Structure 1
């Protein structure tokens, strides 16, 4: 029997290798300064192009997935949705392509938020990238008309890859005004002043670069950046990592546990005296008292339980495995149906003490036993995208049982059909 424990598999950097020349080095220590790489264009330009954007917008996109930016400010949704027009109510909040065309012609930038959730090329890429780096991925698409600047200098609270897929864009990057911004310290609350923006126009940037299709710009957390399209329309995809896991965030999760109804923590539910803010000395004494109670309570928290809760929360932030519910419902699966194990659909594979294999997804798990478990574990360890079928499983599994395993994995998104 195979020893219990996590089934280790070396990470194959298939997605990250499309973005940086040294993926293993990047994953272990992301640069703390901006960097630019010219990578092979073909594997990246297919993420999003002009035809893809047209297809997204024509197919009926809810307005909450789109932003339109005009001179650095968000355009009201009423200017580019069907609202107020004679159309079926469920679609009144959808984007109106004709209105977007007019806004683009006048120089506005179209932003496609959460692109990884509904555009297959970016979703597949992001799912694999998240698996490789160990963080959920968030992707956004940008279409900027020629000669226009989408946003003035701003920062993001997470590191981002900027992937140029169509046209070109000149980016200027500057040192952070706020080091290591937290999630609530956005550009809306910590933007450069008018005086600083004027100075930025006079002084050279820390980095100025022109991105062309296949070029990738890494912007670390907090660095100011602004991009201007050149003589043709520009499309780029921004890929970042969320939620941003900081020690501050984890400390907040610890404090959140004090809301537990357990008797030992109910004291934190007590209301503070009314009018306390009018008595500075009494307020200071109360702050000291609560601080003492907090320091005494923290060691009693269930650290292991919190770790499991945090892990589950982060797993749920990942994109779900790619599933085809309707196709799976009526799909015919037999011993010759060729499939590929999708490692990025799983968080880990664990051998249980009884020899079974547990495949952990975002918030569920599948368990396999016997020779079928050994067969799937071997392919998990390989992570090589080699096709296989139920007929390749050991004869001890049995033909009908092997087909049932493939069907179960297919419906869960753990395997996909091989072309």
Structure 2
């Protein structure tokens, strides 16, 4: 089975609308940002037809033919994650890795009421990966995807919250969702729901903020920290969870503090030893505090922040055979384009990307700036030597040809 490539457009929405508006919420980005983002849950009925992105056939393809290994799949039942040994085995001759999914064991667990969780699906199923990449580019926050496949009248997990925002996309079947307001609002990544287990359990006994059944095409947005639990109705339920791993002000503060401390490492006085004696630090504290505050005031967190962002996501896929063909056949009219999702950024004479950095002479910087602005169309626009260098570095990829060479 060949993985289909989705064009990800909703024919009922204007062509210039992004994924957020056209596929998930029906709201312009500005309205979603002003009224909903990180503040409130949002249910959108019949947001889109997602059959071009994922379906039940894709589930069967992934678990039976793709040689999935843990942790790309986990299994849960009655709120607990089952041990990997209960559904993995060797793949047989030529594939003796022991942690591959055993489809027979998986079928038996599923028939007995277990939920299948296909994790990091944006890495395993191309249309889901394309959706996540485009949504992440729109939001400015990295996006990943899991799929949850739940037998009728079963639930995989009890009430809990996530430390990332989610868009729940119902693909097949119907699933009842109980949503409650946070017991710990806007949790950071290192503040999981288990830190507030008692408060979550207590809140789960109270009235729901939202009690609804999702049907195919419905989308539910939940900010991080919102409690939720879900149960399949009278048929198998398949849904995607698009997890938005939001950047926070706290994360920016971490980068600022790291930049300040890096500057203080170069200050000889700050590297000096404290006085002898148990009370020797008391009178030093105020001076250190002032120097630290000054360093924070002068710190530029942007380089560290951009480096962290580049490390959070992967660039668009690159085919080595197509790339080599493009290098070997390179000519002035060869179409080329900047590889998507590179997070490319020019700092002085250095181009920083998710696949590394390159330095350029002053004479080449204007054409690099045009490349980043999307103006370059052919290898001749760049210059053949520069185009080849960027192709070999994985910064450029072959573009679509508009005619004979």
- With the shorter chain as reference, the TM-score category is 0.7 to 0.9
Say whether 1:223 aligns with 2:229: no
Select 1:78's aligned residue among 66, 79, 85: 85
Q: State the Cα distance separating 1:154 from its structure 2 match.
A: 0.8
Contact 1:171 1:226 in 2 (8 A): yes
Relative contact order (alpha carbons < 8 A, sep ≥ 6): 1 or 2 greater? 1
Deviation per residue, 1:283-340 (Å, 9 max, x gap): xx96996576345323225855532012111112122222111332245646698868
Alignment gaps of 5+ in structure 1: 1-11, 277-281, 382-387
Count residues in correspondence.
Answer: 375
Deviation per residue, 1:329-369 (Å, 9 max, x gap): 2456466988684674343576979xxxx875325357795
Q: State the Cα distance separating 1:33 from its structure 2 match.
A: 0.8
Distance 2:173 2:389 in 1: 43
Contact 1:345 1:361 in 2 (8 A): no
Select 2:122's aligned residue among 91, 116, 132: 116
Contact 2:339 2:394 in 1 (8 A): no
Taking a change above 3 Å as real, the CA distance of residues 211 and 198 of structure 1, as seen in their structure-2 partners, is closer
Distance 1:91 1:309 in 2: 38
Q: State the Cα distance separating 1:176 from its structure 2 match.
A: 0.5
Structure 2 counterpart of 1:246: 248
Say whether 1:22 aligns with 2:27: yes
Q: State the Cα distance separating 1:146 from its structure 2 match.
A: 1.4
Distance 1:249 1:373 in 2: 31
Taking a change above 3 Å as real, the CA distance of residues 237 and 186 of structure 1, as seen in their structure-2 partners, is same
Select 1:183's aligned residue among 186, 189, 210: 189
Alignment gaps of 5+ in structure 2: 1-15
Taking a change above 3 Å as real, the CA distance of residues 178 and 352 of structure 1, as seen in their structure-2 partners, is closer
Contact 1:82 1:96 in 2 (8 A): yes
Partner-residue secondary structure (3-state), 1:19: helix
Contact 2:162 2:192 in 1 (8 A): yes
Say whether 1:327 aligns with 2:322: yes
Distance 1:405 1:372 in 2: 11
Distance 1:197 1:237 in 2: 25
Partner-residue secondary structure (3-state), 1:117: helix
Distance 1:287 1:339 in 2: 66
Contact 1:19 1:39 in 2 (8 A): no
Select 1:210's aligned residue among 210, 213, 234: 213
Structure 2 counterpart of 1:3: none
Distance 1:246 1:348 in 2: 22
Greater share of residues in helix = 1
Select 1:154's aligned residue among 160, 178, 181: 160
Select 1:55's aligned residue among 58, 61, 65: 61
Distance 1:234 1:124 in 2: 23
What are the residue-to-residue correspondences of 1:366-385 with 2, within 5 Å?
369=364, 376=371, 379=374
Q: Which deviates the most, 329-338 or 64-73? A: 329-338
Select 1:37's aligned residue among 44, 51, 59: 44
Structure 2 counterpart of 1:405: 387
Taking a change above 3 Å as real, the CA distance of residues 138 and 370 of structure 1, as seen in their structure-2 partners, is closer
Say whether 1:173 aligns with 2:179: yes
Deviation per residue, 1:160-197 (Å, 9 max, x gap): 11111222211111111112212221112223558626
Taking a change above 3 Å as real, the CA distance of residues 89 and 177 of structure 1, as seen in their structure-2 partners, is same
Distance 2:40 2:283 in 1: 40
Structure 2 counterpart of 1:5: none
TM-score by length of 2: 0.77
Partner-residue secondary structure (3-state), 1:323: coil
TM-score by length of 1: 0.74
Deviation per residue, 1:70-110 (Å, 9 max, x gap): 11111011111116x97778611222122111111111111
Taking a change above 3 Å as real, the CA distance of residues 167 and 337 of structure 1, as seen in their structure-2 partners, is farther
